[in-house]
């Protein structure tokens, strides 16, 4: 019985992933998912309360993994003594981006759902939320530099948001366009160099 239940759940997930990837959350048909999974509607509701609950069951483990690792990287940097932070500029963020890149290519369909197909769900603003965290961290680091006596030009929150949003959305283009691994890896390395150099210039370095 347990094996049958696991197989049914796997069939529902597989049918859901295909339907959500093809049509996005809003356009996906729960009736079609149930049909393609080979289960009855009643059986489906034995596992999930709604289409959104089904979507969440697919993407939540990956959203939690990415956001958890992202927040840990931000915290590790912020907790460094002020004098140590300039030497770590870009270190933790590069390590996180490298980890996230590998993670995305280990779970390509689920990550594409999270980043490209989540409109109408609680995950719709996932990237925006990452951007806001990055903006807060950037402004805090600028304050650290000023406390250390660096002449840091004024950069307001709106500009920080535009730059951070551009960075994350550019990074996630590799998912949207199903870029091959080797090409994407080279692309991301160049992207990181570009944005790091830009931030250093804006911060007076």
Per-residue pLDDT tens digits for 148-181: 999 988 889 999 999 999 999 999 999 999 999 9
What interhelical angle do 108-116 and 2-27 show, nearest 10?
40
Q: What's the token pair of residue 174?
A: 């590799």
Taking CA atoms, 107 is separated from 77, 112, 113, 133, 141, in Å, by 27, 9, 10, 24, 32
Share above pLDDT 90 across residues of the chain, in percent, rounded to a whole number? 83
pLDDT at 1: 46
* pLDDT over threshold 60, residue 54: yes
pTM: 0.92
* pLDDT over threshold 70, residue 205: no
Q: Which long-range contacts (CB under 8 A, 24 or more apart) does 180-183 make?
A: 181/105
Backbone angles phi, psi at 28, to 5 degrees: -70, 140
List the one residue out of 44, 174, 56, 157 whose CA is nearest residue 104: 174
Q: What's the token pair of residue 55?
A: 């979507």
């Amino acid at each position: 019985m347990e094996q049958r239940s696991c197989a049914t759940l796997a069939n529902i997930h597989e049918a859901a992933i295909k339907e959500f990837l093809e049509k996005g959350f809003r356009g996906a048909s729960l009736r079609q998912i149930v049909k393609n999974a080979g289960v009855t509607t009643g059986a489906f509701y034995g596992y999930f309360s709604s289409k959104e609950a089904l979507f969440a069951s697919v993407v939540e483990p990956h959203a939690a993994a990415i956001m958890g690792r992202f927040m840990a990287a931000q915290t590790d940097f912020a907790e460094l003594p002020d004098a140590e932070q300039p030497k770590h500029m870009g270190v933790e963020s590069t390590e996180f981006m490298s980890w996230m890149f590998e993670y995305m290519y280990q779970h390509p369909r689920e990550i594409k759902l999270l980043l490209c197909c989540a409109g109408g769900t609680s995950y719709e603003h996932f990237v925006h939320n990452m951007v806001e965290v990055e903006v807060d961290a950037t402004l805090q680091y600028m304050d650290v530099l000023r406390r250390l006596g660096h002449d840091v030009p004024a950069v307001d929150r709106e500009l920080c948001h535009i730059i951070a949003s551009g960075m994350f959305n550019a990074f996630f283009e590799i998912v949207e366009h199903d870029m091959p691994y080797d090409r994407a890896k080279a692309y991301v390395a160049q992207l990181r160099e570009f944005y790091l150099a830009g931030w250093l210039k804006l911060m007076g370095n």
